Structure 1
C-alpha cells in the first residue's frame, strides 16, 4: 500500500490490485528461473563477499522430475540424505543442569 501525498485535497490511499486471487492460476511467466544445476555451487569455505550473487536469485537444484543436477547433486543415496537431514534436525544435547 502506498500513501499518495498530494499538495491539495484530502489524503488518499492507493491499494494495488494483486496479479491473482486465491483459487486463480498464478502466472510466473515474468520471472526467470535458471535450469537445474545451472547456478555454480561455491566452495563451502568461500568468502561471503564472493557469493553475493546467490542472495539475489533462485538457486534451482532440482529438475522437473525432482532429481538434483549439476554440482549441487551430492551423489548420495536417498537413504543417506534422509539420515543426514534427520541428524541436522535433531537437537544437540546441552550441558545445562
Structure 2
C-alpha cells in the first residue's frame, strides 16, 4: 500500500545519486588517447611532466584554466527548481 511518504533513507539516496551522476559526468569529459605535444588552442608546447600527469591532455595550463573558468559559470544544477530552495 502506498502511503505517500518516502523511506527513511530517501534524502541520503538522492544525495548519493546526485554525487554519482556528477562523478560520471566529469569522468566522461576526461581526455582520452595520447597527449599532444602542442596546445590545441594556442600552439604552445605542453611540458612533458603535464603530458605524463594527465593522459590525453590537449591544452596547455593557461588555456585549460581559461576553459575551466568559462565552464565554472554553468554548474548544471537548477537551484531555482529544487525543493530545497522553495522551502527557504
Same fold (TM over 0.5): no
User: TM-score, normalization: structure 2?
Assistant: 0.24
More strand by percentage: 1
User: TM-score, normalization: structure 1?
Assistant: 0.22
